[in-house]
Amino acid sequence: MNSQHKNYDVIIIGAGHNGLVNACYLQKAGLNVLVLEKNDWIGGAAVSRELTPNILYSNCSYVCSLFRPEIMRDLELPKHGLQIIGIEGGTTFTQDGRYLANYRNYHSKRREMARFSVKDSEAYERYSRDVTRQCRFIQPLLMRTAPDPASFKSKDIGEIFYLIKQFNELSPDQMAETIRFWTMSISDYLDEYFENDVIKASLALSGIIGTALGPMSPGTAYVLLHHYMGEVDGSIGSWGYARGGMGAITQALSSSFKSFGGELITESEVENILIKNNQAKGVALKNGNEFYSSNIVSNADVKRTFLKLVDDKFLPPSFVKKVKNFKIRGSSGKVNIGLDSMPDFPAVPKGDPCIKGDIHFTDSIERMEKAYDDWKNGTWSKDPFLDMMIPTATDPTMAPPGKHFMSCFVQYCPPKVYGKDWTQEKKEAFGETVIKQIEDYSPGFREKIIHMEIRTPKELEDEVGLTEGNIFQGELTFDQLLFNRPVPGYAQYRSPLKGLYICGSSTHPGGGVMGAPGRNAAIEILKDLKKPTSHARSAYEVI
């Protein structure tokens, strides 16, 4: 191959959304960038795949909201075909045959809550104000590199002063509230506002999605915030579908990347990163090819990058230990279903838009927490918490008329069952648990299934390359946020090796289809290479 002798300015390992965002910013700055992807498709966990004829599956990530609007504009993604459609509503079914709709419209949402508790519907006003205030505090930090508090460099000290200044702008009472918010469990936090179990359960779900924590674990209030920070069309906390599935995001990114002149090669799995004299030199592929560059960016998570792609001997032992101690815990599975027709939900009046959004069947915090207890014991939840969506009810481009794609995110699901590998039998039993739960609320559901894909953390790890199948590339607990993410001292996208960077969700600000880690990493790399960064705009004052 000729290309193997060609020298690139930067090589990026992995064409996930963060890798592509990173690639776009670097290429746009005039660098010569190569992206290597192990699969024959791109997108990592933000993909649309035709797993059964004519139906597109968003088979990993399934909704969009966190993706930073600044990045969308910088990279002109709408021009490259990206379109986000807001979700009209969602619903939580109760065991006694009722439902609580969660409409996008604020007043409709409160009226709906009032059906369950008038007091809670009033409390919601207070709640949304308080949570939005926390968002406002945290959101500007997403698009900034976290400072290293142990460093005496002027930029770190400057950044710390910026953080202190941000914090000082709060009133003393708000400061106290912020500290409490960061350390509380979502269950305790909601108890301070609401009385009704169904309302609490429907709000608590954002606190646990993707994490190996239950709603009663301290720290889940922050996870809620992490999900709440997103926005669609400037509307905070709302979610949307990418038209054509989540792959539309990465397709648009790839198209944007290519329009700047970048090069992307698929089916090229990196075997290891070449190091010489403490400096990255290039990558060696599984198929024997080698590509050379003195700047390597890994979109893989921190464990995969430093424990698998780089030989131990090149890294300081203390760093390796820290990486090993980084907590990545697989806690969620996914069941993707192709449907013959739209399922019926007798509890909801016909035509109500609330079934076009996220559908849940867990109507109490206790049930959620019990699902977590099963996971702690080493198995999948027997009464799991589902975050279920039918994107094709809103977006007709993904399936032929009448047919539907349904995405069920299942919490909790371990990477191994009681310490043993998944077998086909167990996988099917896991899928059956999910189907059964849906069937309870939608009679005749089972007959509508035309195709089904069951994904445990194991499949996510094998296919996408996420360690333990954790969707955030690492737990969002305090010890792994901000300047501690991924490990203390290396939170600025750099590594102990010169020229080796990481840009995945393992880095600040963490997971979700957000793009911020990729962008922030690009800025740090450009600074190291003394290139201009003016094409990356800073965070909007959005809220």
Partner 1 sequence: MKSYDVIIIGAGHNGMAASIKLAKTGRKVLILESSSEFGGMASSNILLNDNVNQPLPHLINHLCSKSIKDLDLIKYGLKTKNFFIPSISVDKNQNYISFSGSYGSQIDGIDSNEKANWEKLKKRMFFQANLLKKFLYKSPINRENNSLFDKLDFLKTGINLRIKGREEFQEFFRMMLMCVADILEEEINNDLLRGLLAFDATLGINLGPRSPTSYMGLLYRLAGEFNGAQGAQIFPEGGIPKLIETFYKSSTSAGVEFIFKNEAKNLIFENNKVTGIKTQNGEEFFADIVLSSVSPIKTFFDFIGPQRLDTGLLREIKSLRYKGNVSKLNLLLNKIPKSSFLSNEQLSARITYTPSINHVEENFNPSKYQQLPEDPNFELLFPSIIDETNINDNGIIASIIIQNTPYSLKDGWDSSKKLLYSKIMLTLEKIFPDIKKSVLASKLISPLDIETIFNVPGGHWHHSELQIDRMYSLRPVFKYSSYRTPIHGLYICGAGTHPGGGISGKSGINAANQIIKDQKQNNHYYEKRID
Binding site for partner 1 (CB under 8 A): 149-150, 172-173, 176, 179-180, 183-185, 188, 191-192, 213, 216-219, 318, 325, 327, 366, 369-370, 373, 376-377, 477-479, 483-484, 488-489
CB of 501 to partner 1, least distance (A): 20
191-195: long-range pairs with CB below 8 Å, 24+:
193/120, 193/123, 193/124, 193/126, 193/127, 194/117, 194/120, 194/123, 194/124, 194/127, 195/117, 195/119, 195/120
CB of 495 to partner 1, least distance (A): 16
Of 68 and 227, CB closest to partner 1: 227
Which lies closer to partner 1 via its Cβ, residue 103 or residue 181?
181
Shortest Cβ distance from residue 414 to partner 1 (Å)? 14
What b/e readout covers 406-440, taking b as 16+ CB neighbours within 10 angstroms? bbbbbbbbbbebeeeebeeebbeebbebbbebbee
Question: Residue 245 or 414: which CB sits closer to partner 1?
Answer: 414
DSSP structural state of residue 7: B
d(CA 461, CA 237): 29
- By beta-carbon proximity to partner 1, the closer residue of 97 and 172 is 172
Burial (0-12, 13-18, 19+ Cβ within 10 Å), 280: buried
| DSSP 3-state of 84 | strand
Residue with tokens 């045959």: 97
281 vs 494, beta carbon nearer partner 1: 494
202: Cβ contacts below 8 Å, ≥ 6 apart: 90, 92, 100, 102, 360
* Peptide bond connecting 540 to the previous residue in cis, omega within 30 degrees of 0: no
Cβ at position 235, least distance to partner 1 in Å: 28
Look at residues 84, 95, 116, 85 and name the one whose alpha carbon lies nearest to residue 356: 85
Nearer to partner 1 by C-beta: 53 or 172? 172
In the complex with partner 1, which residue's Cβ is closer, 69 or 488?
A: 488
CB of 93 to partner 1, least distance (A): 22
Nearest distance, CB of residue 492 and partner 1, angstroms? 13
β-pairing, 385-389 with 404-411? antiparallel
Least distance to partner 1 from the beta carbon of 183, Å?
A: 5
